[in-house]
Structure 1
Amino acid sequence: MSSRFNLNPRKLFIRTRFNYEKLPGVESQAASPPYGAKSWKNRPMWANRLQRPRMSFARVVMLAITSVLILSMVGTGVYQRRVRTEQQRKGEERKQYHWEHYPRLRGFFNGVRMIVSPNDWVAEQDFVKYSQSENPEDNIKPKQPHWSKENKEPPLDPLPFNPYPDFDSAEYQKQYEKVETCTLDAEGKIDPPDIYAYPGIPQNMSLPFFGSYEELNMNEKVCFERFGRFGPYGYSYPEAEGGLGLDGKSEKHGADKIWRTENKIDYRNVDWGSAQKRCFEKNKVRFREHKTEKREEAAPAKKKLPRHAYILRTWTGYKYSNYQMLTIRAMINELALKSGGEYDVHFLLHVKDDSLPIWSSEEIYQKTIEDNLPKEFWGMATLWSEQQMRMYYPEPFGNNVYNHAKAPVHSVYRSAHFAMQWFSQVHPEYDFYWNWEMDLRLTGHYYEFNNNIGEWAKRQPRKGIWERASRYYIPELHGSYKNFTEMVEEEIYSSDEKPVWGPPQFDNSGMLPSPPETEPPRPYLQDNYEWGVGEDADLITFNPIFDPAKTNWVFRDDVSGYDLELPEPPRRCAIITVSRLSKRLLDIMHRETFLMKHHMFPEMWPPSVAFHHGLKAVYAPHAVYFDHNWPLEAIDGTFNHPPKPTDSVFGWGEHNQLGNSFYYNAGFSSELWRRWLGSREYDQGGTEEEETGSGRLCMRSTLFHPVKYEKGPE
């Protein structure tokens, strides 16, 4: 029987918290029976009869009525279940959301045999629009998808994908220090692998509704399929050769072409932690100095680069699938080794057992790592626990407005940021810290994606930056990002709200001083989008940064440490904690927590601290796909201009996010990712369909969340 019928009498009338985001590892605990069990088997039957109270006529009637009611309820339940079963059998569906009435998009599922040059490509939305148009002035020719059933080879060959600067060029070395090549082994014999992309796009591949490859300066003229993306990391060769052998049942026409130039690597003895350390030591002259003393330089200094900590938030008991191994290998290789040490990948491993003495025993510390991480990543882990955070950020955290989660302040559910703050204090050698979750997946190249987002954020002016960050960018409706910027400016002028310009002024019971450089150099109207250009962003999020007070987002009032006699402080929030945080922001977050005892829910805390102290924060407009063809005005009105707070897509309107590729509850993300891996989903896709159709999926660079499990061809 389903667990929903295992009723606990003590919980029948207790209001439980809203299940906004179930954290991995949270397990339900069965309560003890409310009454102690007694054995009556040794009691004589005559004693039972003697002690049984005599029932009055009224009691008999009440018992009869109660029995009838219970039987009626049981019968009704059985009938209703039968009706529901019959309805399902007859194909009767639940009431659909409004967006489910829009036509389905299918261009994501066009495969490698339909790849065309970017000049010949027509997006699915344009194909539908113009093929149905009666306007003779429409100058886009609809192009039907086609492929040859006889020739199953892709029409183009995959090529190495290289998004890095030309490290060996005279132009690069004139500005920066020389990049020393890194290897996977200590002997310097195993070079980091390349990944491969097809130089085209499947005809009628769907367009993303949110975000822009062009704006982020990402290569939008190529697509990635599973062999070129993960083959070099062991996907497509057997375990006996050091791979993972996941391609046995896959459609694979043309896949072997990557081995013309690529070497297969035996990953059984790779130590990624040691490889990262060697890479940094060879290239440390390239990076910014974090020590207080100044280094004497004989020659004029060249530009120094920032360093990044790429932090994977994991926990004891987490199971690493073979597909996850491919993803992590790709991260380390593409971010750390191929870049010459610009990134270090870390596992920030949550030890859920607070009684485990990891801080008093090196042996236990190491055993915990070895029991909870694959061997090739042992040298990359940092352990933490909630008990440690209780000591590092001791109570009290008073004056809580409303703890909707009904959880302790130090629980990871309410204070996942504590561990990030602590990590930044233990590892002050980095300029930026990426908060990365284990259920994220990327079809594209990690260095291109992360580096280009950081460079885009650096180019953004501060004028209107918070207002732009609160909206989804829809290129097909808003045009260029410059046009989008001007549109947001017009909306600011037309509203009654004062634009954000430096740290906001609000009544509070004590705030740390903001950095002096966050004060605007000139009045808002006198700034010509100049302030902030060339300044690294302190916070980069992957969903809009909204004002939770204007929504019914469930955790908007989880605020502690502020004077309850005063209005709640202004707040900002970005759903999903995935983000890039600067050392400056994390330092302020740490001091606000430790010194001022200020606290907010994890998705609200970094944006709110950045907002209070006038730091630079942006929402990166990465590509987000939808499974239905929304009218542009409808998607803009729903996501950017909801008619009332209860309609916000960051509250009760979150069902609008179900059909996209990136949100905390997005359902389409997992389906599309597994289809890309070759899985059959909802009786569609899979090996047979790929073999008889257009081949395996080939997609442009896309970030997926959440992906709770992975499955390939079967």
Structure 2
Amino acid sequence: MAALSLYFLVFSGPSPRLHIVPYTKGGNTGKQGSAKDTKNNQHDEKPLSSPKPEDVTLKPDPGHHHEEPTGTRAGWEIDIEDLTYWSDPDDPETNDDVLPGYETDGTHREAGDVARLQHEKDLRKMWRYAYKTTAKLANSNLVYGNTLNQLIQKDNRTEEQSKCLREDPNVKFKFNDDQPVRFNPYPDYNGDEWKKNGHAPYVPCKGPTGEFVEDLLVFRGRPARWPQTKFGGYDLFGIDPNLCWERDSRLGQYGLQEMKKKVGGSYKPIDWDNVNWGELQKHCLKQNADRFDMTMSKKNPYLNNYTENQQKATRSEYIKTEAPKIKGRSVGAKQGQITKESRTALLLRSYTGMKYTDNDRQVIRALVSELSLKTGGQYEVFLLVHSKNQSLPIFDDDELYQTVLKENVPAEFHGMTVLWNDHQVWDVYPELTDEYARAVHSAQWLSVQKFSQDHPQFDHIWNWEMDFRYTGHHYDLLEKLSAFAKKQPRKYLWERNERYYIPEYHGDYDTSFREDVAKKRGNKTVWGPPQLPFVRPVGPKPPVASHEEDNYEWGVGEEADFISVGPIFDPVDSQWIISNHVWGYSDENHESTDLPRRTTIVTQSRISKRLLDIMHVENLRGQHVASEMTAQTVALLHGLKTVFAPHPVFMDRDWKGGFLNNWFNPGPHGESGGRGSPFGWGRERRFQGTTWYYRAEPPNRLYNNWMGWVDTNIGGIDWEKKHGRPCLPSVMLHPIKNTQPTKPGHKSEFELAIG
């Protein structure tokens, strides 16, 4: 019955009979598990036999998951007793290293010790069982092997989405009968609506070919086998789900195909090393200077928020106003009665010693072209490069600075690169004295904060991971994430943020999901900042005394100070390994670890200048939390608006919504944080089959195949001749490592220390 429960409760839709993979090891070698067919109680193959109880030596069990005290059980749909004789040969874990007790028995344990409890070991075994035994089902692994030959729903889109597409008779690709169309998600620059809203004229910009940057190409339709989203959804953002991106049409103009530039009377191949992306961006911005407020004050309005900070602020002001290495960022604009547009910087987080692959370069070119050049400077892209060798005084020697730049960054990106090192940011924040607290792993935001103080013309900054890829259009993604966040009401926002939105389980995001969160949380909700004697909030005060007096109105139309692409959860009791990394934020009545805080795994996010300014001030005071908690926690303490944007996430298993909710939102109020959190030590294997998580397997496999490289017996020239050219819907993929052609037989693998 365990197998049947797994099939009926775990999987969605029609599927062949569940076949249990008979894994055994140790003293059970040669023995097999069993499963019965739902109809005639047997498989087509020879029935499998279970090991007899006398063949197995059972060890004392300190407590199964169902013996956890009421309120902590997550309602798992697999029972550990049914797996007594099942084991996974790939699992190095043994039952020898077991600690007695429960997570909730009042005993203080570190995350590693909690992972040794029998309850935790049982959960890991149950997940391995579910994942392993469903590997070969017909509705598993549907994210892989999708090509242009399988496209359906080619004309299924809204009227607004249709306006973004146009035919181009000059486009012809030989690898497919259907041809791609041009995709333009940008505003109707200089149109009636543009003028009505008081915008200054938009001036189009030229790219490295000397011509105006072309719109991207995309194929209409989605692969017939491509699964539905498990977390998030396209409809939340208005992103077209029925588009498919192919590598040559997506990245061709950025160097995947040979690009030519007119030189004299003839066209010659572009020498990318002679392209200056920094200069292209600056020239484009200068042409559009009237649209933006380029004379913003460098004054941080919160420097005197705390009286003890006034002396430190003077030092900070001196440091931050030193001339940045990149000049010409602030272009004077004519002051007229026009609507000034906000600007956003995108910081690609890199480091000295990084080897830039051809694909890395192509993606950076795409970001600059789609976000900066096509928008006339609304966005500006930078490489923020950590100079890791602390013995090199790059800010005392211009020649040394240029040497480090040339040795570590491709020539085409020199003009858009900002180098930084540890001593530079440590000088800004002398109160951060703990070596671990101020190291880049724990203090990733210090360099971003300094960048913001040096470049106050940017209202928002995207912190961008180098191992992130988006198959779709970058501008389309970022603008729609921003619009989604802006329309979110603050009522129960922190509580919506703290869980995965699972469409099949939660229903409509703005109605049933919202109601479910309100019902589960009741009066246990964040309404304004917490009252702490050592924090003076700078955010807006709630318009009414209680959330009960608000009809989901406060916050609607307010720009988010922080946008994440993962749940913003409470790390307390989650067993997340660095949940207690808090420095300062204490007094005689409050321990640092008592601080209310929030975190998100993966720091890919957008952050406002307002939030960066107050983060800067808190760090000047010596108040600090680990990188993954920094922005979210400061926003919580100061009453600023944060939003988890639940982008579409896919999985290589067709898990049912209720099953996913149990394993990924196991908290007592249906949240992803707290006890049982999937982000806790030893629990992250649950993310193995997802398209977004720093330990996930599908991102690399999908991207390798998409680029035409062999991975796990899919992809490559011979495979494509038989099956067609790979294409993917608009999907965020992380992590993507080693983006270069693979060797024959290559197989991306999932690595995890425990789980």
Normalised by the shorter chain, which TM-score bucket? 0.7 to 0.9
What is the aligned partner in structure 2 of residue 620 from structure 1? 645
2:133 counterpart (101, 115, 123): 101
For the residue of structure 2 that corresponds to 1:577, the secondary structure is coil
Are 1:213 and 2:238 an aligned pair? no
Amino acid at match of 2:178: L
Range with bigger deviation, 198-207 or 552-561: 198-207
Alignment of 1:273-672 (within 5 A): 273-288=278-293, 290-292=295-297, 301-397=337-433, 408-483=436-511, 484-493=513-522, 498-506=524-532, 508=533, 510-511=534-535, 513-515=536-538, 517-563=540-586, 565=588, 566-567=590-591, 568-594=594-620, 596-642=621-667, 645=674, 647-651=676-680, 652-672=682-702
Q: CA contact under 8 A between 2:349 and 2:466: conserved in structure 1?
A: yes
Range with bigger deviation, 106-115 or 600-609: 106-115
Q: 2: distance between equivalents of 1:298 and 1:454? A: 27
Per-residue deviation, 1:280: 0.9
Per-residue deviation, 1:514: 1.6
Per-residue deviation, 1:107: 4.4
For the residue of structure 1 that corresponds to 2:149, the secondary structure is helix
- Residues 488/288 of structure 1: CA separation in 2 closer, same or farther (3 Å cut): farther
Amino acid at match of 2:482: G
For the residue of structure 2 that corresponds to 1:346, the secondary structure is strand
Q: 1: distance between equivalents of 2:587 and 2:538? A: 26
1:196 counterpart (204, 210, 217): 217
Alignment of 1:111-126 (within 5 A): 111-118=147-154
> Which has more helix, going by share of residues?
1
For these two proteins, the number of residue pairs brought into alignment is 559
Per-residue deviation, 1:347: 1.0
**TM-score in terms of structure 1 length:** 0.74
Q: CA contact under 8 A between 2:296 and 2:456: conserved in structure 1?
A: no
Q: 1: distance between equivalents of 2:174 and 2:384? A: 45
For the residue of structure 2 that corresponds to 1:232, the secondary structure is helix
For the residue of structure 2 that corresponds to 1:414, the secondary structure is coil
Per-residue deviation, 1:647: 2.8
Per-residue deviation, 1:554: 0.7
Per-residue deviation, 1:666: 1.3
Q: CA contact under 8 A between 1:577 and 1:603: conserved in structure 2?
A: yes
What is the aligned partner in structure 2 of residue 258 from structure 1? none
Amino acid at match of 2:179: D
Q: CA contact under 8 A between 1:108 and 1:206: conserved in structure 2?
A: no
Per-residue deviation, 1:650: 1.1
Q: CA contact under 8 A between 1:469 and 1:545: conserved in structure 2?
A: yes
Q: CA contact under 8 A between 1:599 and 1:605: conserved in structure 2?
A: yes
Instruction: Provide the alpha-carbon RMSD of the alignment.
Output: 2.9
- Residues 93/557 of structure 1: CA separation in 2 closer, same or farther (3 Å cut): closer
For the residue of structure 2 that corresponds to 1:647, the secondary structure is coil
Q: CA contact under 8 A between 2:568 and 2:599: conserved in structure 1?
A: yes
Residue deviations 1:183-238, cap 9 Å, x none?
126xx942213221001112122222111111111122211010111011110238
- Residues 355/268 of structure 1: CA separation in 2 closer, same or farther (3 Å cut): closer
What is the aligned partner in structure 1 of residue 726 from structure 2? 697
Q: 2: distance between equivalents of 1:278 and 1:340? A: 9
Per-residue deviation, 1:479: 2.3
Residue deviations 1:428-487, cap 9 Å, x none?
110001111111111011100111101111111111110011111122332221122222
- Residues 631/182 of structure 1: CA separation in 2 closer, same or farther (3 Å cut): same
Q: CA contact under 8 A between 1:113 and 1:152: conserved in structure 2?
A: no
For the residue of structure 2 that corresponds to 1:461, the secondary structure is coil
What is the aligned partner in structure 1 of residue 54 from structure 2? none
Amino acid at match of 2:644: Y
What is the aligned partner in structure 2 of residue 710 from structure 1? 739
What is the aligned partner in structure 2 of residue 254 from structure 1? none
- Residues 167/296 of structure 1: CA separation in 2 closer, same or farther (3 Å cut): closer
- Residues 504/610 of structure 1: CA separation in 2 closer, same or farther (3 Å cut): same
For the residue of structure 2 that corresponds to 1:450, the secondary structure is helix
Q: 2: distance between equivalents of 1:690 and 1:564? A: 64
Per-residue deviation, 1:396: 5.0
What is the aligned partner in structure 2 of residue 21 from structure 1? none
What is the aligned partner in structure 2 of residue 38 from structure 1? none
Are 1:158 and 2:174 an aligned pair? no
Per-residue deviation, 1:681: 1.1
Q: 2: distance between equivalents of 1:373 and 1:152? A: 36
Q: 2: distance between equivalents of 1:687 and 1:375? A: 32
Q: 2: distance between equivalents of 1:486 and 1:118? A: 35
Amino acid at match of 2:586: D
Per-residue deviation, 1:590: 0.4
Q: CA contact under 8 A between 1:308 and 1:431: conserved in structure 2?
A: yes
For the residue of structure 2 that corresponds to 1:394, the secondary structure is coil
Q: CA contact under 8 A between 2:261 and 2:268: conserved in structure 1?
A: no
Gaps of 5+ in 2: 1-25, 31-87, 92-124, 158-172, 299-331, 744-755
Q: 2: distance between equivalents of 1:645 and 1:230? A: 42
Q: 2: distance between equivalents of 1:396 and 1:203? A: 54
- Residues 532/678 of structure 1: CA separation in 2 closer, same or farther (3 Å cut): same
Q: CA contact under 8 A between 2:542 and 2:554: conserved in structure 1?
A: no
Are 1:680 and 2:710 an aligned pair? yes
Amino acid at match of 1:274: E
Per-residue deviation, 1:97: 4.6
Q: 2: distance between equivalents of 1:234 and 1:298? A: 40
Q: 2: distance between equivalents of 1:100 and 1:632? A: 19
Q: CA contact under 8 A between 1:624 and 1:702: conserved in structure 2?
A: yes
What is the aligned partner in structure 2 of residue 24 from structure 1? none
Q: 2: distance between equivalents of 1:377 and 1:231? A: 19
Per-residue deviation, 1:505: 1.9
Q: 1: distance between equivalents of 2:269 and 2:507? A: 44
For the residue of structure 1 that corresponds to 2:189, the secondary structure is coil
Q: CA contact under 8 A between 1:657 and 1:663: conserved in structure 2?
A: yes
Q: 1: distance between equivalents of 2:740 and 2:228? A: 25
Q: CA contact under 8 A between 1:108 and 1:697: conserved in structure 2?
A: no
Q: 2: distance between equivalents of 1:169 and 1:330? A: 26
Q: 1: distance between equivalents of 2:508 and 2:270? A: 43
Amino acid at match of 2:423: Q
- Residues 112/560 of structure 1: CA separation in 2 closer, same or farther (3 Å cut): same
Q: CA contact under 8 A between 1:184 and 1:270: conserved in structure 2?
A: no
Query: Which is greater in Rg?
Result: 1
Per-residue deviation, 1:641: 2.4
Q: CA contact under 8 A between 1:177 and 1:286: conserved in structure 2?
A: yes
Per-residue deviation, 1:658: 1.5
Per-residue deviation, 1:705: 0.9
- Residues 366/263 of structure 1: CA separation in 2 closer, same or farther (3 Å cut): closer
Range with bigger deviation, 526-535 or 284-293: 284-293
Residue deviations 1:479-538, cap 9 Å, x none?
221122222112222xxx6211111124x5x22x22252444453111111111111000
Q: 2: distance between equivalents of 1:342 and 1:648? A: 39
Residue deviations 1:390-444, cap 9 Å, x none?
221114547xxxxxxxx62221111111111111111111000111111111101
For the residue of structure 1 that corresponds to 2:427, the secondary structure is helix
